[in-house]
Amino acid sequence: MTRSSASEGWGVRTVPAGLAQHYRDEGWWTGDTLGSMVAAGLGRAPRSRFHVGSKTRPYTGTFADVDRAARSLAGTLLARDIGPGSVIVVQLPNWVEAAITFWAAAYVGAIVVPVVHFYGPKEVGYILDDTRPAVVVTPDRFGRTDHLQQYERLLGERDGEPLWLVVSDRPEWELPRAATPFHRLLDGDPLAEPVPVDPASPVIVGFTSGTTLNPKGVIHSHQTIGWEARQADHFYGKGGPPQIVGTPVGHFMGMINAFLLPLLRAEPVHLIDVWDPAEVLRMMGERKLGIAGGPTYFLTSLLDHPDFTPEHLSLIPYMGLGGAMVPEAFTERATKEGIAVFRSYGSTEHPSITASLLDEPADKRLRTDGRALPGAEARLDEDGQILSRGADCCIGYTDPALTARAFDADGWYRTGDMGVFDADGYLTITDRVADVIIRGGENISAQEIESLLLKMEQVAEVSVVAEPDPRLGEHAAAVIRPHEAAGPVGLDDVRAHLAAAGLARQKWPESVHLVADFPRTATGKIQKFRLRQQIRDGALEHAR
């Protein structure tokens, strides 16, 4: 059964004709598809190494090995009428099977929907309903999550029968009846050439939690992803050791950094599926690898580890930071260690808006979020909100209403972030209009958590805000006005309730504060900016 109509009804926008022509004239948009980019990149360096550091599923091979498996999977998918426009949902850790799936999907022109490995049944169920996949790829389990149990229930509750591929070493009889072992689809006739598709068509949908109750499905085309990969190649430093990718490939930027950027640079792929600082340091020393980007936690966890040595420091000549507001004290610390730090600003919707290059002045690299990159524009509206547009900006959301609200007729995207420009055109992010908490680079919707906590009998009113976190940048804090007669409420109560609701553990509040009332506007709206300040000042009581 063909599923090429899966994207019908999505909010794909029309990029203004003049703007689209400008992107083509400048070479930012080309006729390349993701499939042709992958084929060319793998063909340039077939002997490059592909290595996965994992306690559960390690792997060592070459690009040619992985490409052979990807082409076989692609041939099998096409034989099953899964091709251009079909949706493939992938919830895998940083394993080789994620690369096989991503490259195979690119070859057949399918739309990839990466899902971070810690998303639970609530988020995954919404994504399945929103994208109607032809294929779902999961592990049997990873960490605390039993994916077999989760997906057997989720898929059984929904109409349609997607092909469910399970990465597992278990005997087939131990898998659910609806599941197919992933490895069984790697013996088909390999696909010789990528399937031709329109480069303006959707190719990746990245789901991100924001101000909406449910995750937002952000649609990117072959053109926008192609330019984003080349954009990252432009502003990341050249030279230095091969890099370890610890960012989850279930996040679309992790997928690009792991499976596209190395192909442009003819560099090996080194993945790690769990960010264990001791193991990262061991890999760095044994294989002479470095790290070059990610949330601040990635770097601080290494610098603070007792195994960290001057040899490790020599393997980190530079570091790109983004995903959350970067503390100035941290950039100064890294600089004193001898690491050249630069900051960048973007989002799932518009991944690379501004950045400072490594050869730019230190005060700009350390204290601003950079200036507009090639192919990108940024300005402020009358309220100080950042508006952006560019060749790597998404082509809309799966929800048409979100697309209509986020983009104007000239192609400007309302980022929801506030900022200021200095006299040299460098941007500094000052606040967020959107009520989003960014924990270790992952967006968390406060509204989603609030709606669940309001179902607790002890909670009369709740506001979830960002609280500074020395490791992760920030985490969710629940500020609760309790019902006087319903008994006490503490952090353990909140976590037990959210676990029962199926919310991903990473989204759970990591602190609870009790208040008799909230700071409010004249109309009664809770003033979250004051709550954040009170938490920073230590003026709110911690629940015991």
Contacts of 348 (CB under 8 A, 6+ apart): 206, 208, 216, 218, 252, 253, 394, 443
Q: What is the pLDDT of residues 397-442, one digit of tens each?
A: 999 999 999 999 999 999 988 889 999 999 988 767 767 788 888 8
Which tokens hold the place of 174? 């131990």
pLDDT at 12: 95
With contact defined as beta carbons under 8 Å apart, do 453 and 494 qualify?
Answer: yes
Given this model, what pLDDT does residue 312 score? 96
Q: How far apart are CA 417 and CA 303, in angstroms?
A: 30
Q: Is 233 exposed, middle or buried (0-12, 13-18, 19+ CB in 10 A)?
A: middle
User: Which of 356, 390, 357 lies closest to 376 in space, CA to CA?
Assistant: 390
Helix residue spans in 109-242 (DSSP H):
121-131, 147-156, 222-235
Report all structural domains of the chain as residue ranges with CATH numbers, in order of start.
34-224 (3.40.50.12780), 226-435 (3.40.50.12780), 437-542 (3.30.300.30)
Measure Cα distances from 107 to 91, 99, 126, 221 in Å: 19, 12, 27, 15
In sequence order, the β-bridge partners of residue 290 are 243
The model carries a pTM of 0.85
Q: What token pair was written down for 99?
A: 């690369």
Residue stretches of the chain with pLDDT short of 70: 1-5, 209-213, 323-327, 431, 434, 521-524, 543-544
